[in-house]
Amino acid sequence: MKTSAKKIALKIGKWLGIFIASVLLLMFLIPLLFPGTVSEQVKKLANKSLAGELNFSESRLSFFTHFPSLTVSLDDLSLKGSAPYQNDTLLKADQVAFGINLKRLIFDNEVKIDELYVSDAFINVKVNEKGEANYNVYVSEKDQPKDTLSEGTAIRLDRIDLDNCHIKYSDRSAKILVDAHGFNYVGKGDLSEDVFDLRTDARIDSVDFYYDRVPYLEKKRVRADLITRINTNSLSFILQKNELKINKLPVEFTGIFTILKDGYNINIDAASENTTVKDLLSVLPPQYLTWLDDTNIKGRSDLLFTFKGRYNAATKQQPDLGFNLKINDGSVEYSGAPVPLTDFNLDLNAMLPSLDVEKLNINLRKLDFKVGEKDYFHAFLQTKGLSEMDVKANIKGALDLKTLDAAIGLQNMDLRGILRTDIEADGQYSATKKLFPKAKGGINLQNGWLKTDYYPNPITDIKFVANLQNGNGTFEDLKVAVTPASFVFEGNPVYVNTTVSDFADLFYDARIKGELNVGRIYKVFKQQGLDVTGYAKADLALKGRQSYATTGQYDKLNNKGTLVLKNIKTTSELFPKAFFINEGYFTFQNEKMWFDKFKAKYGKSDFSINGYLLNTINYFLESHGTLSGNFNLKSKLIKVDEFMALKEGENKDRKAEVEYAKEDHPKMSGVVVLPTNLNVSLVANADKVEYTGLVLNNLIGKVGISKGRLYLENTNFNIIGCTVGIDANYKNESPMAANFDVHFRAKDFSVKRAYNEIPLFHDLVTAAAKAEGIIGVDYKIKGDLDGNMSPIMPSLEGGGTISVRDVKVAGLKLFGGISEKTGSKEMDNPNMKDITVKTTINNNLIHIDDFTFKVAVFRPTITGTTSLDGLLDLRMRLGLPPAGLIGIPIVITGTHEDPKIKVFSKTGKKIDEAIYNEKTNTLIRKEKVKKDKKP
């Protein structure tokens, strides 16, 4: 019996071993039997189904890449996006694998893809300001080319698997940026059906969420368990079970999202109900998470986020955004605190209809808390609108800041002082209607004290007393008094006492006195790198009314005092680098702010300025004020390239359009963007100005900036050994485009040096390549500049004269061809003297007025058209002796490199001008030789 059982076991083991070996053998053989079929069908499917450019290094067929699935793997895969991002990468992955339906492959010889695996990938999704996206690379079946074969490849996905991916979604039209690292996703469902349920398990190691360039989530872990019903007919997604965790905060999503042809329709609720306040605070930035571990936090919270409506970039439709947060019976007790913060209650509701900040509604029904037995804070606020805002507010509190600091455990900071506030407001704010809510109350801080971990010495004796009064609800009745604001830092007191009233015609009376080591103050707040050794000292008394300056009643102003700045670093959103003020001594005298001594640097550029600004007080009081002034400027070097918008620099606070341009054009410099709030004239004297490789020496003249326009008047500089006079205008249109208008005047300079050293001359006067001698120019030209601040040649318009003093032309094919055709050897390398050539430029063509010169006994006369790309349509009359009374007509067509010479001919080939779009700064059609009409 035992022997029989043993034999049976051996047989079972034998056959089981044979079966396993056979399966393993098949797993090795199938990839060997079908490699060509699978690879060719996958490539065919990719070419048919994808509009973007697809590349990969190699393909492999195996059971073991994603066991037990049979997959074809594409290594080092990259996929370009759809227009207008066809040159940018949408997907770059170490490996993308397609799971193959084994039954269809063996029995039907068909490749059916039912699984998708993406590993170690960067998925870069972009949507521009017009709503155009880079992910529209899939060609729908109706648009795909017809397949003449009966069998083929199809996608019917049951599983999508993303492993360790980096996904970046940048939507400029919605001002949204999502950046997710360590994105791991498994989605399962019968994706071949028109309506199916997609079950999703997602893990994200770190996700950042930005709206309008402001971070709302940073480096947060996300866990998601989702069931989404997808209707492929209507492209709608119904969120059925969608449970997420952001760090420790549970969030449940419900609603529907439908993709439309011109946008999307959304109705989404995201809720986190009856969670703990500690879980809510876990979504704070990472630097605060250690504080959470050391703090006893209690209370319950309810969070609701809604996003509903239609989005259409073309019609500017936007969804409504809603936010509601409630916290009940909250308390915060930092480790070792003498008393906790208790009775914390918050009820906040905010609505942003159509994502329009002008329609913003904020309803802070309650913000209350206590610290110990005596200290308390209460706030109520309702607002509607922005530029015209309805306001109702009540804020009242009494706090010992030292006790509050201990209770909540402010990190890296020691705070003291007694703070009391009592403010009420009710009414409408409107700058255009000169309305301000009826209000009364004030803020009072006594014995303030601030010390941080970043600097050993504290700011002490902080006092701030401010009172607000407005009984009638108008600008005229509004009065704000700061009496005083003061503090002491390292033994140096700073004092400000200010009263402002009648905001309809603002009256101000301010006294400012003190000195401050700005570099050390910045270290207190850990603002390293902005100011290192900065120093400021002020002694100012400012008194007057806004209308006194605007109406020229300067004698009624009483502005006086001095301001000293040393080693101050400051930035402007217009420029990539920081300005460093070495020293600035300023005197205030009624309407003028005198620059007695001012030295500054910007990169390698340096400036020394004296002069004055007008109405600086009004400039700071008005929301759209303009600074006016007159200055003398001296410089050893001005390097224009450093001011170009897309250049690298330490300034990180740039306009959104500049940041977008840098992303889109990483290899371009941009143009110089000018401030629009200046009306300043300078008498400039610069030893050297460098601009895109050009070096201008000894620039002297009048230079000004007026409302975003730079102008030069009666300005001279030296270049290539001659003096050039110039009048010019420059204005930027965007960080990537500008226009200019310039009048050059130069006498007696080397045509060879001009061709070799001045790019614009090189491009306009191509014949100068074969010339050597002395010429002069008097030329006006205007046009557009591209993203590298170079002229866009088809945009150029203008005209003027070139004065040929004494020029030897050698090796120019045009004259060589004429010499050969006419037998006049003297025309081969002519010497040209005392000739004035008038030309005009328009639409990439140069039109030459007729001019006559003398070569030996000949009197050639030339007129016609040439293009900036080298096309020719010239007429010549070769005047014969005596005195050129009899001439031979000659036509020159072709190109500069290959001229076509016709003797005894007057019929040329007209060149049709280029077509240029001034609005988009683009060439629509190049110039071309007009075709002869057929007989």
pLDDT per residue over 627-646, tens digit each? 899 999 999 999 999 999 99
pLDDT at 802: 92
Find the angle CA(175)-CA(176)-CA(182) to the nearest 5 degrees.
155
Predicted confidence (pLDDT) per residue in 214-241, tens digit: 888 888 888 888 887 877 676 787 877 7
Q: How far apart are CA 918 and CA 733, in angstroms?
A: 11
The highest-confidence range among 160-174, 214-228, 602-616, 754-768, by mean pLDDT, is 602-616
pLDDT at 201 over 90: no
pLDDT band at 438 (very low <50, low <70, confident <90, very high): very high
- 104 within a domain of the structure (yes/no): yes
Please report the DSSP string for 442-503 in residue order.
EEEEEEEEEEETT-SSPEEEEEEEEEEEESSSBTTT-EEEEEEEEEEETTEEEEEEEEEE-G
- Residue 130 inside a domain? The answer is yes
Range from 89-98, 241-250, 430-439, 555-564 carrying the lowest mean pLDDT = 241-250
Are the C-beta atoms of 309 and 320 separated by less than 8 Å?
Answer: yes
Indicate if the pLDDT at residue 7 is higher than 70: no
Q: Which of 163-177, 190-204, 497-511, 675-689 has the lowest mean pLDDT?
A: 190-204
Q: Which of 115-124, 204-213, 527-536, 730-739 has the lowest average pLDDT? A: 527-536
How are beta strands 605-614 and 638-639 bridged, if at all?
unpaired
* 549: DSSP letter: H
Question: Chain-wide mean pLDDT for the chain?
Answer: 85
The C-alpha atoms of residue 200 and residue 196 are separated, in whole angstroms, by 13
C-alpha distance from residue 705 to each of 103, 352, 631, 682, 893 (Å) = 75, 39, 12, 9, 46
Domain boundary pick from 174, 205, 226: 174
Range with the lowest mean pLDDT among 546-550, 776-780, 919-923? 546-550
Percent above pLDDT 90 for the chain: 49
Evaluate whether residue 100 is within a structural domain: yes
Question: From the centroid of its chain, how far is CA 15?
Answer: 68
Is residue 513 a contact partner of residue 540, using CB atoms and an 8 Å limit? yes
Does residue 743 or residue 678 have the better pLDDT?
743
654-674 average pLDDT score = 89
Q: Given a cut of 50, is residue 32 above it in pLDDT?
A: no
Question: How many Å apart are CA 808 and CA 5, to the nearest integer?
Answer: 113
Looking up tokens 């034999």 gives: 7
8 Å CB contact between 729 and 741: yes
- Map residue 330 onto helix, strand or coil: strand
Three-state DSSP at 356 gives coil
Clarify whether residues 161 and 279 are in a common domain: no
Are the CB atoms for 230 and 237 separated by under 8 Å?
yes
- Give the Cα separation of 880 and 897 in Å (integer): 27
Last residue of a domain, one of 157, 174, 191: 174
Tally the domains of the chain.
Answer: 2
Q: What is the pLDDT of residue 222?
A: 86
Alpha carbon of residue 220 to chain centroid: 25
State the average pLDDT over residues 794-817.
91
Query: Which DSSP symbol is given to 755?
Result: H
* pLDDT on residue 623: 64
Over residues 305-333, mean pLDDT? 91
Co-location of 160 and 39 in the same domain: yes
Report the range of poorest mean pLDDT among 137-151, 196-210, 690-704, 853-867. Answer: 137-151
Of the candidates 337, 248, 347, 332, the one whose C-alpha atom is nearest the C-alpha of residue 298 is 332
Q: Is residue 703 predicted with pLDDT exceeding 60?
A: yes
Q: Residue 824 has what pLDDT? A: 83
**Can you give the residue range of the structural domain that contains 47?**
34-174
Residue 10's pLDDT band (cuts 50, 70, 90): low
Position 248 scores a pLDDT of: 86
Residue 928 is which amino acid?
A: K
Cα–Cα distance, 717 to 749 (Å, whole number): 13
- pLDDT in the model for residue 62: 61
| pLDDT, position 841 | 95
* Mean pLDDT of the 105-109 span: 50
From CA 158, how far away is CA 97, in angstroms rounded? 14
Are residues 279 and 151 part of one domain? no
Report pLDDT digits (tens) over 667-678. 999 999 999 988
- Predicted confidence band at 549 (pLDDT cuts at 50, 70, 90)? confident
677 lies in some domain: no
* Distance between CA atoms of residues 7 and 23, nearest Å: 24
Examine residue 337 and state whether it is found in any structural domain, yes or no.
Answer: yes
Query: So what's the pLDDT on residue 152?
Result: 47
- Distance, in Å, from the CA atom of 846 to the CA atom of 824, rounded to the nearest integer, reads 27
SS (H, E, C) 765-833: CHHHHHEEEEEEEEEEEEEEECCCCCECHHHCEEEEEEEEEEEEECCCHHHHHHHHHHCCHHHCCCEEE
Distance between CA atoms of residues 446 and 484, nearest Å:
11
Give the orientation angle of helix 2-33 with respect to helix 35-49, to 10 degrees.
Answer: 50
Q: What is the pLDDT of residue 529?
A: 42
Amino acid 109: pLDDT:
52
Contact 375, 398 (CB under 8 A): yes
In a domain, 180, yes or no: no
Residue 25 has what pLDDT? 41
Q: Is residue 78 part of a domain?
A: yes
What distances in angstroms separate CA 128 from CA 131, 166, 640, 651, 737, one per listed residue?
5, 20, 30, 24, 18
Q: Which of 312 and 679 is assigned the larger pLDDT?
A: 679
486 occurs within a structural domain: no
- Residue 72, by phi and psi: left (phi above 0), alpha (psi -120 to 50) or beta? beta
Domain final residue, candidates 140, 174, 208: 174
Q: Do 279 and 159 fall within a single domain?
A: no
pLDDT, tens digit, 9 for 90 and up, residues 753-802: 988 888 888 887 888 888 899 999 999 999 999 999 999 999 999 999 99
DSSP state of 645: T
- Residues 165 and 278 reside in one and the same domain: no
- Residue 239's pLDDT is 78
Does 916 have pLDDT greater than 80?
yes
* Length, in residues, of the chain: 935
Q: Say what the pLDDT of residue 140 is.
A: 57
Q: Is the pLDDT of residue 23 over 50?
A: no
* Percent of all residues in the chain with a pLDDT value above 70, rounded to a whole number: 87
More confident site: 481 or 284: 481
Q: What is the DSSP letter of 212?
A: T
For the record, the structure tokens of 924 come out as 């629509």
Q: Is the dihedral of CA 611, 615, 621, 623 positive or negative?
A: negative
Q: How confident is the model at residue 212 (pLDDT cuts 50, 70, 90)?
A: confident
Q: Which residues contact 7 (CB under 8 A, 6 or more apart)?
A: none
Q: Which amino acid is at 83?
A: A
- As separate numbers, helices (DSSP H) first and strands (DSSP E) second, the chain gives 13, 48
Distance from C-alpha of 138 to C-alpha of 259, rounded to nearest angstrom: 15
Q: Mind listing the pLDDT tens digit for each residue in 457-513? A: 899 999 999 999 999 999 999 999 998 899 999 889 999 999 999 988 889 999 999
In the predicted model, what is the mean pLDDT of residues 805-817?
A: 88
